[in-house]
Chain A
Amino acid sequence: MKAVYGLYTDGQSAQQAVNRVRAAGFADHQITVLSAQPMEDYEFGQVDKATWMWRIACIGGLAGMATAFGLTWLTETSWPIDVGGLPIFAWWPNLIIIFELTMLGAILATVMTLVVTAGLGRSSALYDPEVSDGKILVGVEHPPDSALRELETALGAIPDAQVKTI
């Protein structure tokens, strides 16, 4: 048995389904909820919010800044060339390079964090194409055989639910 899930037409039904599955003894990390848009006005849409992304973006920015410092310092001092009497390591122009690479570092760090933490690129687990039509999927992957009947009842108790077992 791979998964048991129900498809619901609106957020409130999905919330009720989630509560019922929790009452059936499943922990939050075992419950899969899929939707076609972020449903932040419901409690189930609020799980897993904590993230390190902001901190990693700042670290990425610092890494970019360090790279820019290194690039400007090393390349300008390795072969010092006089142009118009400007200092070999001139702060004002180098700040521009440093700024650009700092921002690039922050941007790339953000995107890499997104790819890793959102699990992008990994082969999909439980999914139903009807989610794209606006249905909300609430289910459990790899449930123990003993809890199967209880799960199906819990999911099916909400009106207009479509329960599927795969």
Chain B
Amino acid sequence: MSEPASRLPVPASRLPADQRINSDLLRPLMHTSWRFFLLLAVFGGIVLTAFVAWMSQAYRGYGVTGIRWPVYWGFYITSFVFWIGISHAGTLISAILRLVNAGWRRPVTRCAEVITVFALMIGAMFPIVHLGRPWLAFWLIPYPSERMIWPNLRSPLVWDFFAINTYLTGSVLFLFLPMIPDFAVVRDKSTGLRHSVYRMLALGWRGTPKQWHRLETAMQIMAIAIIPVAVSVHTIVSFDFSMAPVPMWQTAIFGPYFVAGAIFSGIAALLIAMAVLRRFLHLENYLHPVHFENLGKLLLMMALLWGYFVFNERLVTYYGNEPAEMAVFWRTQRESFAPLYWTMVVCNFVLPLVLMGIRRFRTITGCVIASFGVVIGMWLERFLIIVPSLGHKYLPYSFGIYRPQPVEIIIASATFAAMTLLYVLFAKFVPIISIWELKAGEHTPAVLVPPATEEHPLGELHL
């Protein structure tokens, strides 16, 4: 069969573009400046301080925290729920956008998946930090123990264990699998120790059509599997509250409310991460304003959804007019917690609506400001779910006020430093934008290209 080569337009070689992508996205791996070490020192120092604080809590006794009768959960559980919530960033962007074939997701997927994995790790640490006897945390693992007892599978905390571990395993794999072809690129472009390490990480990746098919099929299956897991994880975290007869806790809306809030805070965290990466790693050619605009619109939608859930929850409580619930209701809305409550409403609802709703403000800066507001607002929301209710249950003699102590403040705030530290380390060793996925965006999958004919050997592209 002769090739009518003279009749066909020769597609321009994409080699220069590919090489430019390689060098741009591999630059953070190949070149390290003093700023990296400074970041490491500063954030590492903060994380170390928090670790020392936790050790002092374990040594001196749990009483160094502000936990008291009857407010037995405070900053630690707030941070736990907050970070598990942030971890829903990756799932939304990576999995859902992958499944609906949204091309604009390509530079963004790995940033999002990294947030998921590290936020999960940080969040999963808090159930251990908040335990009275953390050295026995392993009793949550279902293993045949010499005490001949298994964990209580009917307890929401044990569901947490299963759900978070499943999600963590799934997310780590979901993150790692598409990194393999990129490790191969780094392997090819480096020498010496770096070459050996990345050769091991690349697992012998070559790039045959079979390998690409298997990888993409695996990613497809994982994307489908990880979405229900993510929904279940934060629903199960919400069960930590709704399974107890505490005023304003025992409500069926907590499941969807928490999941929506999680996706909301996840998108905000992603926007902040993207903006920082764009600025400091000079990724202006890869993370375009349109990416921020699209995510900003999603942020707006989630802000509206968040407002819907809050309205729902509060209206039903208001009409129920049950004395214990209304006492907590007014406590957050009018009394001692009102300043925090209304700050939360402004940060979570008013600010995103204004900044993301008005097109002129939907710039990268606008997105970052709205996102910071959402991160603060969502942390406050978790706090306002936990503490006002616990301090004001049913018997007035047993009401109490929670005052966070330095230990809790240090550990809770150091998690932000820990997240930044982990992210900086990751961006140093792995290309933060998925190289092959970015390039693959140019090659539309066969389903969009009709079969080739004699006149059109490549088929016609219809987008």
Contact = CB atoms under 8 A, between A and B. Distances in A.
Contact of A97 (B162, B170, B212, B217): B162
A103 B166 contact: yes
A53 B214 contact: yes
Interface of B: 1, 3, 5, 8, 10-15, 17-19, 22, 142, 148-154, 158-159, 162-163, 165-166, 169-170, 173, 177, 180-181, 184-185, 188-189, 203-218, 221-222, 225-226, 228-229, 232, 236, 436, 439-440, 442-446, 449, 452, 458-459
Given A125-B206, A127-B206, A132-B22, A36 B218 contact: no
Given A12-B458, A121-B204, A100 B232 contact: yes
B162 A114 contact: no
B206 A51 contact: no
Contacts of A123: 204
A39 interface: yes
Contacts, number: 213
A53 B222 CA distance: 11
Contacts of B165: 104
Nearest to B176: A111
Contacts of A129: 188-189
13 contacts: A32-B208, A36-B181, A37-B443, A42-B458, A57-B225, A75-B142, A97-B162, A99-B232, A107-B170, A119-B204, A120-B211, A133-B19, A134-B17
A42 B452 CA distance: 9
Contacts of A93: 153-154, 159
Contacts of B215: 114, 118
B159 A35 contact: no
A141 B185 CA distance: 22
Query: Which of A12, A38, A90 lies at the interface centre, i.e. has the most chain B CB atoms within 10 A of its CB?
Result: A38
Contacts of B205: 120
A79 B149 contact: yes
Contacts of B445: 40-41
Nearest to A52: B217
A49 interface: yes
Interface string A89-132: 01001101101110110111011011101111111111101011
A19 B232 CA distance: 50
A38 B209 contact: yes
Nearest to B440: A37
Given A111-B173, A124-B204, A134 B440 contact: no
A127 B436 CA distance: 17
Nearest to A56: B221
B18 A120 contact: no
B110 to A, nearest CB: 15
A129 B195 CA distance: 12
A127 to B, nearest CB: 5
A43 to B, nearest CB: 7
Contacts of B166: 100-101, 103-104, 107
A94 B445 CA distance: 41
Nearest to A124: B204
Contacts of B151: 75
